[in-house]
Structure 1
Amino acid sequence: MAASSSTGSSIAPNIFQLSSSFEDTEGGISVAVERCPLCRNSRRPFTCQRCLRDGNFAHSKCENPDNRDKFSVKLRKWHALKKERSKVLARVESAVQKHLDIDAKKTEIQLYTKKLNLLQKAIEEVKSKEARDQDNLKAIKKNNAYKNSKVKKQQEKLKRILKYMEDGQNKMETREGFLIESEDELSKIRRQRIDELGTFIFSIKEIEPKSSEVDSMQLSTVSALAEARRTAYVRGKWIYTDNGGELQYQVVDPKLPGHGDYSAYCAWSEYYFYCDMV
């Protein structure tokens, strides 16, 4: 019996391209034989169209074919195995997909865990930085408050100084006016007291020079005595003290020359003042 030409076909073949050849038989007679398209061996008779259509045939090498070797039985087994294979593949794919999903979930969980750790580290860094910034801000606020209080104190001190300066300026202006008035009044009183002193206590008198009794005396002895009388030795030098017959002023008892040269009297007073100190 002949078999199907392909294991992947679900329908039994019903058309075979048969080839005829002549073989020598035992009697030497050449007869026409048909070859199986599968095994290419000569078999006869072949099969009918009905058996081909129903799959009621077996492989051509089967000498005693039974129901287990028929094409229809093998086809049903093949369909059953194919269906079972599909089920197994579906179960395997489902199991593999579950494992793949689990691995994907694990990978995703690991990824999210890493992201979460990074976010936690970033949050901790931000918190630590915020804490440092808060500390710096508190220090800056404290410093600013101290400086503001110091500025307020300095402003108050400046106001007091300005007020003190303003009061001092006003007082100084008032005192300057009072000083000017006092100086004017003092100068008036001084002049008045000097006038009173010169009038009542130290009255100044003008003494006219006496006329010489001996105008014609030209003797050398008299001239020398007169010259000696008109000079004085003060602090290592001779000073001419004669008035030369000029007008003189008398204050109480001493007399001062009327020409205004009081150098001899000043030198005399300095000399005796220096001697008293030594």
Structure 2
Amino acid sequence: MAVVVAGLGPRLDRERFQWSSLAMLTPALALLGLLFVFPVLYAGYLGFTNLALVGARSRDYSFTGLDNVVRMLGDYVFVKSSWLTLIFVVGSAIVGQSVLGMALALLLRNAVVPIRLIVGSIVIVAWVLPEITVALVWYAFSQAGGTLSILLRHSDTNFLVVVPMLIVSLANLWRNVAFSMLVFSAGLRNLPTEVLEAAEVEGASVWRRYRQVILPLLKPTILTNLLLVTILNLSEFTLIYAMTQGGPGIETMTLPLYVYQEAFVFHQLGYGTAISLVLVLIGAVFSLLFVRAARSQA
């Protein structure tokens, strides 16, 4: 006599579906491992070696343990580059880009159509310009005799020498603020209109509606924007290199530029890779903070 086990059929179907799904995902997982996981792990290994780009150690390099870490801790340029990177990301992206992007999104949301089209187009054009073009524009803008020095009545002042980090941060902000503006504009369009209308009917001021209604509803969008702009700006290289090459001295030597200098100018590929791992670690810390904040809002 056949014995029928209750629920066995559906369970077998689920198991077959899971195995078939895994089989279909296997090629994609293998490709992901080949193109992403393996290079990351290999780079992690190279960061603990004395590999050079040229010479004998380009072939016969060896594992050196924590030597590169000890070297970084005593490296003044690395320490300053780390601080400059944090200043650049926090000032230009997390604060500047997010605040100005939010302000522009709110302005365009309430503006008449002609102003919305003109302002939106100007901001987006700056974003789609190649970084090298933006670098040349701001380089000319901040030179002695340039537009900025004329406006401030300091025609003999080269602002890339006097305040280089401020100038490259402003150039980066000018170029990338459109990204945050578009993110916040999308978030504002998805807000429930009935909530906003109810706050307006109750007589809430514009500032109160923004602080007590719009801002809380936009928290997921704000955290998403912060995560994206942090990751994007941590790796900023072209704009800064084209404007200053890390100078004057090392006043704009952020970590991406220092990685390039050590790995491809001084040919210390192992040490340069170790510095790049620190950059990855900083990005991971920021990402975890934003993800935890987003989960707490869920």
Alignment TM-score, normalising by the size of structure 1:
0.20
Alignment TM-score, normalising by the size of structure 2:
0.19
Greater RCO (CA < 8 Å, at least 6 residues apart): 2
Find the structure with the greater CA-based Rg: 1
